[in-house]
Amino acid sequence: MTEPRDDLDIWLHTDVNPLPPPPGTFELIRKRARRRKVRRATVSAASAGAAAAVIVTAIVALPKVMPSVLHQHPTGNSALADNSPSGPSRSMAGSPTPLSSGSQSASLPVLPPVPAHFEPTSATFVGLKTGWVIGQAGTPGACYTQYCTSIARTDNTGASWYGVPAPATGAPDGSTGVGQIRFLNLDNGWAFGPELWATHDGGHSWTKISTGSLRVLSLETGGSEAFAVLGQGCTGAGSDFAAGCGQYFLWSSPADSDDWAPVPSLPGFTAADPAAGSATVVLSNGVGYFYTPAGLLESGPTGGPAGGPAGGPAGGSGAWTQVSATALPCLPGAAQPGGRPSAGQLAATTPGNLALACPDSQGTGSALRDIIYTSVNGGQSWQQRGTVRLGAAAYSLAAASGGGLVLGTGAGIYYSSDYGASWHQTLTAVSGGFSYVGMTSPAQGVTVPAQPQQQAIWFTLDGGQQWLVSAIRN
């Protein structure tokens, strides 16, 4: 007679095969152990009065680990960047104040440092918190590579910055180098002026795009596309790479590829006087405006979700047409270093609503001023709105919230709350003033100093009325 089956006894005497841990468990344990060792070593060094030596050692070692962390967000995942409409809460009272990085959790990964002596020449943001600046850093021959072109990224609206990869090229020098940057989203970005480089992996790697003998003078993004103004026959040297161009073209490409081609129906535009010509493109909510060297305005859809269905050989643009046979109130003028026009500064608030700042020929010296014109029908007609006394040249115009306009000049930043009828200065000039101002949202914007030696950029969180300085360093 067999004994009754005892399931409990069978289970107790059966060989047990332990289940494997979840994937990544051992790597997580190793990482935590390393962090614990680092914390203990830091505390021990500090108590022994050797904290400075530890910090120096860490900084010296960082370039060796850069390839493994260059594509990381401070939380460890670049896809988790907070680009929500609600920006950080900071005091806006008083004169421009530095942005503070605050304390950083010990659990965050160590990020690559911003190269020493970083001098920014351009900035771009894809949300209220995440942005990039490009410029030159270090001393030639003493950079991380043979090139000193560098890029820094922030994920907290400029409270802190960290180094990321940059195109393997130098500063703008005639037909070579780059000094400007634009990103459409967290993946797709471009460095340009006069060369063209593209990234489609968030800046982890950069590829040079061939433009033949044409120089890239300006570039903007909208919908699902990038648009660039290219110059042919340009003779400018050094940082004046956009000077002396004989013809100007508008090209576009789908943002996630490098399929650059002329925008349909737009021929090349000839400058009557190459020494005094320039052109630029402005995009606003699915509509683009090409400001030609003759002062005419071409307009069309930017393609993608905001601009309607794809239609052109470049993968997104429909045909662009001339807005009016009448030129705008002023010509773009000669090109500035960096590619922007030196005379007419064009901005778009919403499709059809445009603003233009034109130098007043009657104003000279300290009485130098700009006349502000506006259009409510996409540039078909213009009305004089007001004047702004600057005492220096105007470099860049941007639209803010509630009819606001922000003007970057050699004398500082000027703000209008009534679409250009009246103005007041909201940021006193640093040496040389501000070469570019742009709005990420109706309330938040950024301005870049004309002299990169400032090693900083400035933010506004209230549409241009007050500004905060952000030094480009960790």
* Mean local confidence (pLDDT), 45-65: 32
The pLDDT of 114-142, averaged and rounded, is: 88
C-alpha to C-alpha distance for 71 and 244, rounded to whole angstroms: 39
Which pLDDT score, from 0 to 100, does residue 264 have?
A: 85
Model confidence pLDDT, tens digit, residues 84-117 = 333 333 333 334 555 544 434 344 567 889 988 8
Phi, psi of 90 (to 5 degrees): -140, 155
Q: Kindly tell me if the per-residue pLDDT of 140 is higher than 70.
A: no
In this prediction, residue 277 carries a pLDDT of: 95
pLDDT given for residue 402 in this prediction: 83
Q: What is the mean pLDDT of the chain?
A: 79
- pLDDT tens digits for range 37-54: 433 443 343 334 433 333
Burial class, 438, CB count within 10 angstroms (exposed 0-12 / middle 13-18 / buried 19+): buried
Distant-in-sequence, close-in-space partners of 64: CB < 8 Å, separation ≥ 6: none
Confidence of residue 204 (pLDDT cuts 50, 70, 90): very high
Q: How many residues does the chain have?
A: 474
pLDDT-based confidence at 162, cuts 50/70/90?
very high
Give the separation between CA 92 and CA 153, rounded to whole angstroms: 23
Per-residue pLDDT of 225-242, as tens digits, reads 999 999 999 999 999 999
Give the model's confidence band at 141: pLDDT under 50 very low, under 70 low, under 90 confident, else very high. low
